[in-house]
Chain A
Amino acid sequence: MSLIVSARNLTLGYNGKAVITGASFDIESKQFVFLTGVSGSGKTTVVKSIYGEISPIGGRLSVGGYEMNGINRASLRQLRRFLGIVFQDYKLVPEWNVLRNVTLPLIIAGYDKRSAEEKALHYLEKVQMADKADRFPFELSGGEQQRVAMVRAIIHEPVLLVADEPLSGLDFHSAQLVMDLFQWAHQLGITVLIATHSIPEHLIPGDLSIRQLHIENRKVNELL
């Protein structure tokens, strides 16, 4: 299996103040990884460094073969086209309807509008959202918005799917649907990294092989 994420003695932080120090870990292709830790432990910081929102302040980080230390704009754009990102607050474009939001990664990837919409509707059917394709985000519940965000994150079949607290604030039914989508993405061969305060074991089937990286005292440790 190939390495998707590789961190060596990584230090991350804001304004020179370290949040994560000396972290060394790897994520290999097609793994299903949970990154756990209490609130404020630095899970979001690690996720942000993976999609290039922040740069390492020490050590080395490589994602999909791209060195994240001082990555240039063009390389970052290229990298992000191979990532799927899910946020706690969904980050759907409020002025666009569900279909337009979901087709975004496909249009960026060069799909024509018609085939992008066909594929989007097919994926939306899988999450029982096809009948709401013309709705705007403000017309959807939190669970529905997260399902739309999930479809947007996997529709272009990324190499790595990164999610930051994707189940936060969702009811049991919505959380189950979202977790099913993560498993589906995993079955499609997508590497999954979910940052969450605790593993939702009640939502994970027993046969799913998972890894857990845990953040404590600014260090990232392997738990499972």
Chain B
Amino acid sequence: MSYYKKSDSFFSHFTLIFSLVAILGSLFFYQFFREVYLEYQMNLVTESTMVIVTEKPLKKVPMPQYFQSMEPISPSQQLERIKSQFKGIDFSKVHLPYFYKLQLKGIPTPRALLYLKKKLLENPNIKRVLTFSTTQEKIYNLLMIVNYISTAFMWSSLILGFMLIVKQLEVWKLRHAEQIYIMELFGAPFWFKGATIFKIAFLDSFIALVIVAVGTFLVLNSPLIETIKQQLGITLHFSWLGEIAFLALVGIFISLATTLIVIRSSSNQ
């Protein structure tokens, strides 16, 4: 036997499901792009080095605020190569400079790189400074833009989603005010008054979560994402399941919060 009137059921669910899909989906992709960005940044930091050539050996890292480590480069291989090409020359009398690989602490902008180069050359012991390739910089800048866009998208989705939920709450307040009032007249406890609304909100959150879970699973396992990962040369430590579990908690929180708001604002007691 049907307990409830079924009219308007689709529309009463649609707004909340749509808002939740927007919120949960944007949260998921924000986290995903952030992971890609951080992973690539980490790779780039490891590869961000500068090579300096000095006349005398260096004992400590120059400009330690910018460089985290210094590694001497052995000139023996180059020397062997030269020896094989120029036989008959006494290389014991040739004075070779010292080579060092400096590991940067972060990823500098092209301007910062020029600044570092200039500062290093101010040291009379440093004769030459070699900077790394700028190809990766371009990818990094692109990723940074994508990260900014995904952050902006997440915030706009959150704001829009919450605005829609607030609108839906107004509808629910009007729709359930009489029901809650009647329950109060018969001494219904708080949880009882909220049960119907919580069931609706929870069901909507679950539907939204399933939509987001299926959607993100398909996107993450698409050939396009695989290609991007290969192109960037990164291995993601991003757990789809962990992220969905987090989104489930967010969904439950939103369900509870919406229920509490409707009951509190409709309650006359």
Contacts and interface: CB of A to CB of B under 8 A. Distances in A.
A94 B181 CA distance: 12
Contacts of B2: 97, 134
B3 A100 contact: yes
B186 A95 contact: no
Interface stretch (B77-85, B187-195, B244-252): B187-195
Most buried by A among B181, B182, B183: B182
Contacts of B175: 95
Interface string B235-269: 00000000000000000000000000000000011
A182 interface: no
Interface residues on A, range: 20 to 34
A81 B186 contact: yes
A92 B188 CA distance: 15
Interface string A76-104: 11111101010000011111110110001
A105 interface: yes
Given A76-B269, A91-B182, A93-B178, A133 B187 contact: no
A34 interface: no
A73 interface: yes
Given A79-B187, A104-B186, 14 more contacts: A76-B187, A77-B188, A77-B189, A80-B184, A80-B186, A81-B187, A85-B185, A91-B178, A91-B181, A91-B182, A93-B178, A95-B5, A97-B2, A104-B183
18 contacts: A77-B189, A80-B184, A80-B186, A81-B186, A83-B187, A91-B178, A93-B178, A94-B178, A95-B175, A96-B179, A97-B1, A104-B186, A104-B188, A107-B192, A108-B186, A108-B189, A134-B1, A134-B2
Interface of A: 51, 53, 73, 76-81, 83, 85, 91-97, 99-100, 104-105, 107-108, 133-134, 136
